[in-house]
Amino acid sequence: MYVMTEPGCIKSYSGAFLHITNGIRELSRYYHIDILAPKAVQPYIQNGNFTLIPSPEKRTVVDMNTGPNTNKLYGLLKDLKTLLVNHLPFFRYYRQVKAARPDFIYERISYLNFNAFLIAKLLNIPYITEVNGVYYEEIRHYYHSWLNGLARRLMLATYRRSDICYMVGGLKQSHGLDGGHYISVQNGIETQFIDRLKDHKKQLELPLQLCFVGHLAYHHRIEVLLDALRKLKQPQHIHIHFIGANFESLHQAIPPQIQHTFHGMVKHEQLLDLLQQFHVGLIPACRPGDSFMKLYTYGAAKLMCIVPRQRNVEQTFDKGELRFFELENSGQLAACIDEVVQQPEMIHTYGQRLYQTVRQRFTWTSIFEQVHTEIQRLLHARQGR
Domains of the chain: 2-188+364-383 (3.40.50.2000), 191-361 (3.40.50.2000)
Q: In what order do the strands lie in the sheet with 323-325?
A: 259-264, 238-243, 208-213, 280-282, 304-308, 323-325
Q: Cα(364)–Cα(191) distance, rounded to whole angstroms?
A: 7
Quote the pLDDT of residue 285: 87
CA 177 to chain centroid, in Å, comes to 20
Q: Which residue numbers in the chain have pLDDT < 50?
A: 42-64
Strands (E) across 313-368 are located at 323-325
- 24-37 pLDDT per residue, tens: 888 888 988 887 76
Q: What share of the chain is helix, strand, coil (3-state, %, to 5)?
A: 45, 15, 40
| Consecutive H or E run containing 259 | strand 259-264
Relative to beta strand 164-168, strand 127-131 is parallel
Give the predicted TM-score (pTM) of the model.
0.82
pLDDT value at residue 44: 44
Q: Which pLDDT value is given to residue 132?
A: 81
197-218 confidence digits (pLDDT tens): 888 999 999 999 999 998 777 6
Across the beta sheet with 127-131, the strand order is 35-36, 2-4, 105-108, 127-131, 164-168, 182-185
Question: Do β-strands 208-213 and 280-282 pair in parallel, antiparallel, or remain unpaired?
Answer: parallel
